[in-house]
Structure 1
Amino acid sequence: MDTRVPPVPMGRAMAAEFRRHGDDPDDVQGTVARVLSYIHYALPDPPVSAAARLYALAPHDAVDRISALPDALLRRVVACLPVKDAARTAALSRRWRPLWRSTPLVLVDADLVSFSAAAGAPDDSSKKAREAARGVTHAVSRVIGAHPGPFRCIHLTSSCMEDFQGMLANWLQVLAMKGIQELVLVNRPWPLDLGLPATFFGMATLTRLYLGLWKFPATADLPRGVSFPNLRELGLCSVVMDTQDMDFVLARSPVLETLCIKGNLFRMRIRLASRSLRCAQIIGSSYEEIAVVDTPCLERLIVSGTWRRDGASSGSVKIGNAPALRVFGYLDPAANVLVVGKTAIKSATKVSPSNMVPNVKILALEVRFGVRNDAKMIPNVLRCFPNIERLHIKSGKTDETTGKLNFKFWQESGPIKCIRSSIQMIVFHDFHGARSEVNFLKFFFETTRVLKIVVILFDTGSFSSMDEVRSKVEVLRAAKRPTGCSVLVTPSTEPEECNIWSFKRGSDFSRFDPFTDY
């Protein structure tokens, strides 16, 4: 997995502090590097790329046709350039001199990182790496001070904020005054709970905001008028945040459509109450509860990679008022307790219309078929979603089996409406060839009446050859299934990032099904 810049190495004092607590600083730094990499993968792509190349006019063509273009077109050209190149256009000629200052600013501070600092060469000393990061910080200050605004898009992921908290507070104040629209702000990352300055709340012009590795400022004493009236997309990556502060942000963001939370390891209650929210993603996080309280426009609820501390109880996912909810998953019975209305769904729960979610069309489940209690949840969970048309099953790995469920169990589980009459496509992710997986699929095939497409994505690490794959799947091909139903068996090609989950994929409404490319 790639990240544009590594974390700044921790200083000697911080390393000594970790040792005093019994932690190896190298291990801590490696973990933080992975977290930072995951965050960078989840961030929205900046609107400019430093990979582009600029070329001079050919020797035989001395006519400068570009400078003859109208100012509006030239500003669009400047807006597509990395900030260093954009600022340098002022030196081209008198014609170009005012253009950069009159073009809404796009600043990606990673474009200011020198090659040696970005590469993180093994012989780089901690002091040298920190000096390079400080250099980027000072360069950002010069750019922010030199440009009169407005600020269209600012990505700050490479600056060193540990020693410049006063400067950061000033940046945020200036960004607010100059009409910032999109902001990506990631700490790089020491200390891990560095406080975000309260001047952050002045940015009322924001339409998109992503924060990474910060401690969110307290909201209890803020004036009633503080709000984010234009904010449509919010991403929080490894942000230390209290439940009441999350409630505050949602209540003060009246047009928010997309909420993405990633890597939150503090058990909080996430209450979704919003008249505008269309997509909520909670990825790789720990929580006491995710409660869909009142979300009349919510179309997608994606909960994946739930993280639990040793001995911690499962977090609950409560579905209340969500009449537009169409996509839901990956629900994991080992980590999530599903609550519909006021009913917690268990293997013995009597499912009735009062605890069903009839509007969901695409459902994704993660199940450890080798763990009996996990697999026993499947029939009742499916009964809660009577009208799904696509079902995704991700087969989870387990080191210990606690009793496999045979074909007879599935036969005796009773009728499941969605399997019989609504599921037209099933995608089975990470098929390992276990008998419990085969028994479930065989039951599914012999029960369904409307199934059209079956996609089995097998885990390449579980098989020694394609002949072994074919032998495991042969019994399924021979099973009775609806006429015209096709079965596709193919290796899983999803990279690690898809398991970690990208916000981009889940909140891309051009994708009919965010869980697969099929």
Structure 2
Amino acid sequence: MASRRREPFTNVDPETEEDARRRGIDPHDLDSSTEHFMSLMYSSLPDQPVYSAAHLTADCSSPSDGIDRISDLPSALIRDIVSRLPAKDAARTAVLGTCWRGAWRSAPLVLVDTHLSDGIWPPTDSPSVVAAVSRVLAAHPGPFRCVHLVCSRMGGRQTELRRWLRLLAAKGVQELVLVNRPWPIKVPLPRTLFTISTLTRLYIGVWKFPDATGLRGVSFPHLRELGLCIVTVESGDIETFVAKSPVLEILNIQGNIQGLRLWLVSNSLRCVQICASEMETIAVVNTPCLERLILSGSMNSDCGLCTRVKIGNAPKLRLFGYLEAGKYTLEIRDTVIKAGIEPTPSMMLTTVKILSFDVCFGVQKDIEMMPTFLRCFPNVETLHIKSADCDHPTGELNLRFWEDQAGPIISVMFRIRVMTFSEFRGEHYELSFLQCFFESAGVLKYAVIAMVDPRFTSLSMDEMISSVQNMSDEKWASKFNLALCRSSGEGSRLCTFEQGADFSDEDPFSPVEIPSKF
């Protein structure tokens, strides 16, 4: 029988294919998994500040009065229009009239390489796109408002890469997104990156980070947002880069797989987000302006690590999550928080108002840890809980644990006004927690229970809803609005870095829109 024809590789190069086969790995599986991670990374990148689907057309539907109004537009407005167009369309505006002819060269340009390949998605490596990028960077005098280069496999194009970075540094790029198409995945990023002092936003993906230990006399005085996605870094390099960025507000890390130790010291950081990473330590040493610490999608379960999250000086920390008992060890001001410990004032984070947990209610250690965690956050007003899947419950689970052993928790009794419970499966362990919580929550005003997709539990949607509706409310401590809905499958509205760092959204953790009156 003839073998089934396999699709060509999207990511794997011949050298990687040969190495994978030598190690007994199907290169097609490697290619598929790589594309999955790349898709996650692309979804985390900042949006392009242009709309490429629009077409430049002339409206001939109404009679002309012979007046050339488009040429009468102020030159500043013309440049602003051009700076909001894809590079190809910006160049084409030269045919609109004399005053437009040089506008694209004097306007801050947006260069997105996927626009040069006719918007093909997902991006594919193309020598013609590399050549087009080189031409645009050489022809335009700058500045560049925004540059997204995400198409090309740069392992064999180090000469072009260095030339691009030199031109971007000379011509004042403000926002730069630079992604290498794998494989290989450890292509070194030239230190020329450190010469681009005009950056306000920088995202790099699938690179080996340049050695930052030797940075002297270099700074990024305008950089406000930094994203590192699937980037190989050495210990201390991120800290050095952050120290050289005096106005940096947002730090996003995705896909680090090295067990990195991260020590945060910054007078400007307001939001730190770390997702899908294996981190050995995340230490918030001294961050007087930090408002949000968001940890999600820990990869530690696959490698046996437990990330140590150490909170030192963070007097403005207001939003914290997702805290997972089995994947994170919490340390507050040099004290490791363990199950059953009675926190002292020095072990409490009193500024946190919004807290999110991922809990496996079928694991004894998880539920024993949860009351202790809650006691460390006495002023939490909004609590979000996601019920994690547990195929094999462990320990001698006591369905009355919350009533018999948990004891009173200040935040539950006197502070929490909003509670959401995502991925509810209708398990007895979950119902036991909810019953006890509702019996203690003296000021609760609004609760949401989002049911898991029935495919992932033994109960139907109707059975899960009935299990909640049949709970006894005779002992509930307050009257509150209880909403039942179907889970989105994510357990939260938070699925991109942009959402987490949107300071206008007070609670990006919420799985539903919470009425403002609550």
| Change over 3 Å in CA distance of 1:283–1:311 after alignment to 2 | closer
Q: Distance in 2 between matches of 1:188 and 1:493?
A: 31
| Change over 3 Å in CA distance of 1:463–1:399 after alignment to 2 | closer
- TM-score where L is the length of structure 1: 0.93
Q: Given the alignment, which residue of 430, 437, 444 partners 2:430?
A: 437
Q: Gaps (5+ residues) in structure 2?
A: 1-7
| Change over 3 Å in CA distance of 1:454–1:118 after alignment to 2 | closer
Report matched runs for 1:38-49 at 5 Å: 38-49=40-51
Structure 2 partner of 1:52: 54
Amino acid in the other structure paired with 1:490: C
Q: Distance in 1 between matches of 2:416 and 2:62?
A: 65
Q: Given the alignment, which residue of 222, 225, 232 partners 2:224?
A: 232
Q: Distance in 2 between matches of 1:151 and 1:61?
A: 38
Work out whether 1:86 is the aligned partner of 2:81.
no
| Change over 3 Å in CA distance of 1:154–1:319 after alignment to 2 | same
Structure 2 partner of 1:214: 207
Structure 1 partner of 2:283: 291
Report matched runs for 1:404-415 at 5 Å: 404-415=397-408
> What do residues 28-77 of structure 1 show as CA deviations (whole Å, max 9, x unaligned)?
11111011101110011010021113321215433432221111111111
Q: Distance in 2 between matches of 1:199 and 1:65?
A: 45
| Change over 3 Å in CA distance of 1:347–1:309 after alignment to 2 | closer
SS of the residue aligned with 2:464?
helix
- Report how far residue 464 of structure 1 moved: 5.3
| Change over 3 Å in CA distance of 1:447–1:60 after alignment to 2 | closer
Q: Are the aligned partners of 2:440 and 2:477 in contact in 1 as well (CA < 8 Å)? A: no
Moved more, 504-513 or 154-163: 154-163
Q: Gaps (5+ residues) in structure 1?
A: 1-5, 121-128
Q: Distance in 2 between matches of 1:456 and 1:260?
A: 30
Percentage identity across aligned positions?
47
SS of the residue aligned with 1:95?
helix
SS of the residue aligned with 1:514?
coil
Structure 1 partner of 2:14: 12
Work out whether 1:352 is the aligned partner of 2:344.
yes
Work out whether 1:418 is the aligned partner of 2:411.
yes
Which gives a bigger RCO, structure 1 or 2 (Cα 8 Å, sep 6+)?
1
- Report how far residue 331 of structure 1 moved: 0.5
- Report how far residue 479 of structure 1 moved: 4.8
Moved more, 324-333 or 405-414: 405-414
| Change over 3 Å in CA distance of 1:259–1:17 after alignment to 2 | same
Work out whether 1:247 is the aligned partner of 2:257.
no
Structure 2 partner of 1:487: 482
Q: Given the alignment, which residue of 496, 508, 511 partners 2:502?
A: 508
> What do residues 60-119 of structure 1 show as CA deviations (whole Å, max 9, x unaligned)?
43343222111111111111211111111123332211100000011111111146x547
Q: Distance in 1 between matches of 2:38 and 2:493?
A: 16
Over the aligned positions, Cα root-mean-square deviation in angstroms equals 1.9
- Report how far residue 313 of structure 1 moved: 2.8
| Change over 3 Å in CA distance of 1:240–1:357 after alignment to 2 | same
Q: Distance in 1 between matches of 2:114 and 2:49?
A: 13
Q: Distance in 1 between matches of 2:481 and 2:491?
A: 28
Report matched runs for 1:254-269 at 5 Å: 254-269=246-261
Work out whether 1:96 is the aligned partner of 2:89.
no
- Report how far residue 277 of structure 1 moved: 0.4
Q: Are the aligned partners of 2:200 and 2:222 in contact in 1 as well (CA < 8 Å)? A: yes
- Report how far residue 495 of structure 1 moved: 5.2
Q: Given the alignment, which residue of 415, 428, 445 partners 2:421?
A: 428
- Report how far residue 250 of structure 1 moved: 1.2
Structure 1 partner of 2:3: none
| Change over 3 Å in CA distance of 1:405–1:49 after alignment to 2 | farther
Q: Given the alignment, which residue of 132, 138, 141 partners 1:139?
A: 132
| Change over 3 Å in CA distance of 1:47–1:294 after alignment to 2 | same
Moved more, 6-15 or 279-288: 6-15
Q: Given the alignment, which residue of 466, 473, 479 partners 2:468?
A: 473
Structure 1 partner of 2:77: 73
Q: Distance in 2 between matches of 1:383 and 1:497?
A: 23
Q: Distance in 1 between matches of 2:450 and 2:9?
A: 35
Structure 2 partner of 1:383: 375
Amino acid in the other structure paired with 2:437: F
| Change over 3 Å in CA distance of 1:139–1:354 after alignment to 2 | same
- TM-score where L is the length of structure 2: 0.93
Q: Given the alignment, which residue of 132, 154, 160 partners 1:167?
A: 160
SS of the residue aligned with 1:243?
coil
Q: Are the aligned partners of 2:451 and 2:461 in contact in 1 as well (CA < 8 Å)? A: no
Aligned residues: 500
